[in-house]
């Protein structure tokens, strides 16, 4: 049996700025409201970065993350996934600072297991970051969402799984088409999918124009999907989405056409903790 489809809304990320889209949320309230609108459109999970409200630059301020978390939780059952990418953190104990958000005890946190050239910078995730992140999340009862940008990252995650650092079932986010991770082609997604460990739960995102084809494949292959401004601003060629919720409605419509029901937040929670096993 194919599980109900978990829709994740990644409403801001670290990249798009208001010169690219005037609706990019910057303040904690704007970010939370964007996520809540996605919840009402069918998303079960919000993936959250925070920004400096004045400049829009990526921020790691814990009080911003806490405010977004609190606002989303006050609005309903939506699960919250806080990023640990820490893109603005350049001084001090980088690992400790990146993992501060785990202490807020969101439902999930992103866990990056491999390094890569990411657009114009290096996204550095040394081996000990993955180990410490997995341990911190396990101690806090936070589910890691393992972000993989290429096939070697899956192998590195398996290394953590074999050592018992990540509790089953592991959750993977297959990040397709990030420059310069694995390109977002159908062949590559099928290959990435084929390399996942048995019993893994997985979601897929596609960057830019790859969003729609990648999520379509994710729905067909029995995975879950992520959409939103972090990955893409265009609903179709030349047409900016009015809001993040537009992408959720687009994905929900596609899922309906393909006869894949959406997971409620309660179902998403049960799938992620292993208590709802499709076909089991």
Q: Which residues bind Zn ion (CB under 5 A)?
A: 83
What gap in Å lies between CA 195 and CA 152, rounded to an integer? 10
Residue 47 · residue 110 · CB < 8 Å: yes
Task: Output the smallest distance, CB 50 to Zn ion, in A.
Answer: 11
Q: In this structure, is the dihedral angle defined by the CA atoms of residues 184, 95, 169 and 38, taken in order, positive or negative?
A: negative
Task: Output the smallest distance, CB 83 to Zn ion, in A.
Answer: 4
What gap in Å lies between CA 133 and CA 66, rounded to an integer? 19
Element (H, E) at 136: helix 127-140
Nearer residue to Zn ion within complex by CB, 87 or 154: 87
Task: Output the smallest distance, CB 65 to Zn ion, in A.
Answer: 13
Nearer residue to Zn ion within complex by CB, 111 or 212: 111
- Residue nearest Zn ion, CB atom distance: 83
Element (H, E) at 112: strand 108-112
Task: Output the smallest distance, CB 278 to Zn ion, in A.
Answer: 26
Nearer residue to Zn ion within complex by CB, 147 or 158: 147
Nearer residue to Zn ion within complex by CB, 83 or 156: 83
Q: Which two tokens stand for residue 52?
A: 């400096």
Nearer residue to Zn ion within complex by CB, 33 or 81: 81
Task: Output the smallest distance, CB 259 to Zn ion, in A.
Answer: 30
According to DSSP, the β-strands at 143-148 and 171-176 are parallel
Nearer residue to Zn ion within complex by CB, 44 or 260: 44
* Three-state secondary structure readout of 192-235: HHHCCCCCCEEEEEECHHHHHHHHHHHHHCCCEEEECCCCCCEE
Task: Output the smallest distance, CB 262 to Zn ion, in A.
Answer: 21
Residue 252 · residue 7 · CB < 8 Å: yes
């Amino acid at each position: 049996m194919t599980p109900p489809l978990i829709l994740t809304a990644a409403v801001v990320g670290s990249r798009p700025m208001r010169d690219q889209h005037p609706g990019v949320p910057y303040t904690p309230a704007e970010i939370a409201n964007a996520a809540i609108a996605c919840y009402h459109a069918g998303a079960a999970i919000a993936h959250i970065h925070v920004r400096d409200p004045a400049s829009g630059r990526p921020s790691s301020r814990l009080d911003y993350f806490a405010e977004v978390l609190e606002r989303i939780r006050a609005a309903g059952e939506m699960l919250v996934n806080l990023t640990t990418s820490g893109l603005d953190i350049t001084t001090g104990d980088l690992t400790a600072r990146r993992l501060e958000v785990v202490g807020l005890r969101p439902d999930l946190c992103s866990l990056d297991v491999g390094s890569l050239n990411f657009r114009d910078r290096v996204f550095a995730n040394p081996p000990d970051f993955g180990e410490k992140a997995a341990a911190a999340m396990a101690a806090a009862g936070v589910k890691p969402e393992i972000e993989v940008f290429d096939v070697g990252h899956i192998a590195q995650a398996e290394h953590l799984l074999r050592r018992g650092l990540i509790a089953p079932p592991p959750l993977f986010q297959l990040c397709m088409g990030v420059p310069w991770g694995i390109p977002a082609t159908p062949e590559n997604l099928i290959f990435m999918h084929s390399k996942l460990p048995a019993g893994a739960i997985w979601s897929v995102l596609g960057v830019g124009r790859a969003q729609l084809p990648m999520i379509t494949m994710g729905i067909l292959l029995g995975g879950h999907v992520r959409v939103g401004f972090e990955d893409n601003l265009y609903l179709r060629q030349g047409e900016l989405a009015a809001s993040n919720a537009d992408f959720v409605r687009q994905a929900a419509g596609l899922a309906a056409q393909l006869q894949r029901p959406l997971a409620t937040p309660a179902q998403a929670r049960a799938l992620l903790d292993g208590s709802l096993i499709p076909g089991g």
